[in-house]
């Protein structure tokens, strides 16, 4: 019996790879293994679902069984992969051992957790999957307004750890949905690593006007249970102490500090990892017939040499467009036609309706500075005095295609 192409992970990277591979090859057996249900959903929708009044079930666009049938793949849902054995081309899972023709790691990333003191530190939550979102959604218990209620429900208070892209998206979404939201971040402004300081300040003010309360230049020190004589739905149950001494009474703490590539399986198998699982331009890892893409991968230029020496540089790209482009190139490589991945210009849309932002930033470490060329339009100008990136805010985000052409001309 022919060994299958095995894909570990049923997120956007895993399912897109299966779909693109089926466009190239309709007969080779394909197995998808995932620790969750395998239902397909758009992960970016997790950070704008509350304002749209969408429940976890409504975020699922295609059920796992339907995906498996349409793509003619064997799906092993709720299955853990315990080990990868590159030399024998096999894996060990909670459902047994399987050999593979080729193996694709698309197992994503894990939420970064920082040490927090306090007897309620275990109450800090992260949202990195539909299951995470469902737990958080259940605890918040969103309900439509009751027109005959004698008194309004108390607005629950959520403190978000991290004012990066995802933290700001959740802050905007939860505030629009009627919750009280505070954000704590050690940086001087939101999304400070990606945005010029003027745009960061503009976003801070736009979210503040919406109702977001900022705690910048500080971080969460501890999360404790409040010692109260009685506890009911009218009383926040947690007390958060910030590093600057500020105390806040909140109902929930949501950590949005960032993601770290999940390289546990890869490292145990002896694959070369840095910030992520290092792959070359064809998405091959340091082991033959093992490939990776998505949030777990670190994309490097060039190809592995015959000695398997580490490739230079490489970057992680936890966004949708890199995954889509990577899956298309990988699908061709998996058919036996090695295809190098070349990323096109990939602008990122930040889902903050209070101040919509589209940014196409240069590669990290690129020398140059951001310059405002007109209201809502910024260019990153490099050492050659030519734009190497652009940023648009507010109504100017409609000029995305125009600005993209400017950079590729």
Q: What is the pLDDT of residues 94-116, one digit of tens each?
A: 999 999 999 999 999 999 999 99
**For residue 130, what is the enclosing H or E element?**
helix 130-140
| Shared-domain flag, residues 229 and 209 | yes
> pLDDT value at position 147?
52
Residue 216 has which token pair? 């910048």
Nearest 5°: CA angle at 349, between 71 and 139? 75
Residues 380 and 388 sit within 8 Å (Cβ to Cβ): yes
Q: Which residues contact 44 (CB under 8 A, 6 or more apart)?
A: 320, 351
- Rg of the Cα atoms in the chain: 23
For residue 203, tell me if it sits in a domain. yes
Tell me the C-alpha to C-alpha distance, in Å, between residue 299 and each of 287, 294, 406.
Answer: 15, 9, 26
| Shared-domain flag, residues 244 and 190 | yes
Distance in angstroms (rounded) separating the CA atoms of residues 125 and 116:
12
Mapped onto helix, strand or coil, the DSSP state of residue 280 is coil
Among 235, 255, 275, the domain boundary falls at 255
For residue 341, tell me if it sits in a domain. no
The phi and psi torsions of 394 (rounded to 5 degrees) equal: 55, -140
* CATH code for the domain in which residue 397 is found: 3.30.390.120
For residue 235, tell me if it sits in a domain. yes
For residue 350, tell me if it sits in a domain. no
| Shared-domain flag, residues 244 and 263 | no
Buried residues in 135-166 as b, exposed as e (16+ CB within 10 A): ebbeebebeeeeeeeeeeeeebbbbbbbbbbb
| Shared-domain flag, residues 189 and 294 | no
| Shared-domain flag, residues 171 and 278 | no
| Shared-domain flag, residues 273 and 171 | no
Residues 244 and 178 sit within 8 Å (Cβ to Cβ): no
Total structural domains in the chain?
A: 3
Strand intervals (E) in 188-296? 213-216, 220-225, 238-242, 247-250, 252-255, 259-261, 277-279, 290-292
Q: Which residues contact 330 (CB under 8 A, 6 or more apart)?
A: 17, 20, 21, 104, 282, 283, 291, 293, 339, 341
Nearest 5°: CA angle at 392, between 275 and 403? 95
For residue 26, tell me if it sits in a domain. yes
| Shared-domain flag, residues 228 and 207 | yes
| Domain span holding position 233 | 121-144+151-255
Among 255, 270, 295, the domain boundary falls at 255
pLDDT, tens digit only, all 409 positions of the chain: 689 999 999 999 999 999 999 999 999 999 999 999 999 999 999 999 999 999 999 999 999 999 999 999 999 999 999 999 999 999 999 999 999 999 999 999 999 999 999 999 999 999 999 999 999 999 998 866 555 555 566 789 999 999 999 999 999 999 999 999 999 999 999 999 999 999 999 999 999 999 999 999 999 999 999 877 555 566 788 999 999 999 999 999 999 999 999 999 999 999 999 999 999 999 999 999 999 999 999 999 888 876 667 787 788 888 899 999 999 999 999 999 999 999 888 899 999 999 999 999 887 778 999 999 999 999 999 888 888 899 999 999 999 999 998 887 6
| Shared-domain flag, residues 103 and 169 | no
pTM for the model stands at 0.93
* CATH code for the domain in which residue 168 is found: 3.50.50.60
| Shared-domain flag, residues 91 and 210 | no
Among 255, 270, 297, the domain boundary falls at 255
For residue 349, tell me if it sits in a domain. no
For residue 246, tell me if it sits in a domain. yes
For residue 343, tell me if it sits in a domain. no
| Shared-domain flag, residues 242 and 229 | yes
Residues 290 and 84 sit within 8 Å (Cβ to Cβ): yes
Distance in angstroms (rounded) separating the CA atoms of residues 214 and 189:
9
| Shared-domain flag, residues 189 and 222 | yes
Residues 32 and 76 sit within 8 Å (Cβ to Cβ): yes
Q: What is the pLDDT of residues 7-36, one digit of tens each?
A: 999 999 999 999 999 999 999 999 999 999
Buried residues in 209-227 as b, exposed as e (16+ CB within 10 A): ebbbbbbbeebbbbbbeee
| Shared-domain flag, residues 135 and 206 | yes
């Amino acid at each position: 019996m022919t060994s299958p192409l095995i894909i570990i992970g049923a997120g956007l990277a895993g399912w897109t790879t299966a779909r693109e591979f089926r466009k190239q090859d309709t007969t080779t057996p394909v197995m998808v293994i995932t620790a969750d249900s395998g239902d397909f959903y758009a992960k970016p929708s997790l950070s704008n679902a509350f304002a749209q009044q969408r429940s976890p079930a409504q975020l699922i666009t295609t059920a796992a069984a339907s995906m498996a049938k349409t793509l003619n793949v064997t799906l092993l849902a709720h299955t853990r992969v315990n080990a990868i054995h590159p030399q024998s081309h096999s894996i060990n899972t909670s459902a047994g051992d399987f050999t593979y023709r080729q193996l694709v790691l698309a197992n994503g990333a894990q939420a970064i957790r920082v040490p927090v003191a306090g007897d309620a530190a275990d109450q800090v939550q992260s949202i990195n999957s539909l299951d995470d979102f469902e737990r958080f959604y259940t605890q918040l218990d969103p309900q439509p307004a009751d027109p005959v209620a004698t008194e309004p429900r108390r607005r629950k208070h959520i403190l978000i750890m991290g004012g990066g892209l995802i933290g700001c998206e959740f802050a905007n979404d939860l505030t629009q949905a009627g919750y009280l939201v505070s954000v704590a971040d050690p940086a001087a402004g939101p999304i400070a690593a990606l945005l010029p300081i003027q745009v960061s300040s503009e976003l801070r003010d736009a979210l503040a006007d919406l109702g977001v309360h900022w705690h910048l230049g500080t971080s969460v020190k501890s999360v404790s249970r409040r010692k109260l004589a009685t506890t009911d739905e009218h009383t926040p149950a947690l007390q958060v102490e910030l590093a600057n001494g500020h105390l806040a009474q909140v109902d929930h703490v949501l950590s949005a500090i960032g993601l770290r590539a999940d390289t546990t399986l890869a490292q145990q198998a002896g694959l070369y990892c840095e910030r992520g699982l290092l792959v070359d331009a064809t998405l091959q890892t340091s082991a033959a017939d093992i490939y990776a893409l998505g949030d777990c991968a670190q994309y490097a230029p060039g190809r592995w040499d015959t000695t398997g020496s580490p490739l230079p540089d490489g970057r992680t790209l936890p966004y949708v467009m890199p995954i889509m482009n990577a899956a298309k190139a990988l699908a061709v490589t998996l058919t036996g036609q090695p295809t190098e991945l070349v990323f096109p210009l990939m602008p990122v849309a930040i889902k903050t309706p209070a101040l919509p932002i589209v940014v196409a930033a240069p590669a990290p470490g690129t020398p140059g500075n951001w310059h405002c060329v007109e209201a809502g339009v910024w260019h990153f100008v490099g050492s050659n005095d030519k734009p190497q990136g652009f940023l648009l805010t507010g109504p100017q985000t409609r000029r995305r295609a125009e600005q993209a052409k400017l950079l590729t001309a």
